[in-house]
């Protein structure tokens, strides 16, 4: 199973409320029509985050597919053109980025409906080999995360090795 993590910024001049309303109520109708989609999750930036200034992203979307071939078929489908047309209604597509990832569940507990999800983007140190970074993250760092008191669920979503092998470096969030 592969997961595409897409980070989004609302269109210039659009209020946070209008962005979130559109994304929650209208956009799912077109996304769930994608062939081969296994799961779709939206993570909206909390309203309280805007009091500290404009966040880098207004939200993150996650879409799961059975594998690389299913993901390719999804992105080449006529339904994907509908998704892209709808995104242009509320997303600043010039700032949109994505990662194709594979998940490792570290803590798999029950999550309440009112739970808060924290999303962190990590970049490896310059010059650090990808394999070494990902091994440390999956083995050593995962153990530290698993020991956090009160943590209900924790999932590591590492960029797929094939992206690096193809010369595609994940974007940074600076």
Q: Looking at residue 126, what is its pLDDT? A: 87
Distance CA 145, CA 23 (A): 31
Which candidate, 83, 82, 86, places its Cα nearest to that of 22?
A: 86
Mean per-residue pLDDT over the chain, rounded: 91
With a cut of 80, say whether residue 162 has pLDDT above it.
Answer: no
SS (H, E, C) 45-112: CCHHHHHHCCCCCCEEEEEEECCHHHHHHHHHCHHHHHHHHHHCCCECCCCCEEEEEEEEEEEECCCC
Q: Looking at residue 172, what is its pLDDT? A: 56
Please tell me the least confidently modeled range out of 2-16, 47-61, 110-124, 143-157: 110-124
What pTM does this model have? 0.87
Distance CA 115, CA 133 (A): 29
Which candidate, 72, 9, 20, places its Cα nearest to that of 42?
A: 20
pLDDT per residue as tens digits for the range 15-56? 999 999 999 999 999 999 999 999 999 999 999 999 999 999
Q: Looking at residue 54, what is its pLDDT? A: 94
Residue 131 contacts residue 42 (beta carbons within 8 Å): no
Domain locations in the chain? 2-165
pLDDT per residue as tens digits for the range 105-125? 999 999 888 889 988 888 888
With a cut of 80, say whether residue 159 has pLDDT above it.
Answer: yes
User: CATH number of the domain at 2-165, please?
Assistant: 3.30.70.100
171 confidence band (pLDDT: 50, 70, 90): low
Q: Looking at residue 91, what is its pLDDT? A: 98
Per residue in 84-98, is it b (16+ CB within 10 Å) or e — as a string? eebbeebbbeeeeee
Q: Looking at residue 114, what is its pLDDT? A: 86
169 confidence band (pLDDT: 50, 70, 90): low
Q: Looking at residue 164, what is its pLDDT? A: 77
Q: Looking at residue 152, what is its pLDDT? A: 93
């Amino acid at each position: 199973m592969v997961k595409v993590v897409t980070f989004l910024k609302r269109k210039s001049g659009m209020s946070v409320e209008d962005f979130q309303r559109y994304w929650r109520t209208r956009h799912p109708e077109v996304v769930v029509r994608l062939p081969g989609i296994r799961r779709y999750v939206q993570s909206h930036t909390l309203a309280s985050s805007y009091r500290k200034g404009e966040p880098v992203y207004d939200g993150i979307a996650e879409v799961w597919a059975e594998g690389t071939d299913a993901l390719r078929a999804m992105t080449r489908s006529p339904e994907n053109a509908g998704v892209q047309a709808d995104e242009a209604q509320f997303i600043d597509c010039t700032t949109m980025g994505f990662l194709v990832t594979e998940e490792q569940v570290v803590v798999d507990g029950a999550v309440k409906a009112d739970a808060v999800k924290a999303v962190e983007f990590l970049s490896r140190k310059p010059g650090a080999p990808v394999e070494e970074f990902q091994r440390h993250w999956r083995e050593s760092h995962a153990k530290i995360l698993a020991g956090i008191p009160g943590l209900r669920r924790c999932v590591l979503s590492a960029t797929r090795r094939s992206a690096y092998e193809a010369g595609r470096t994940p974007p940074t969030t600076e």
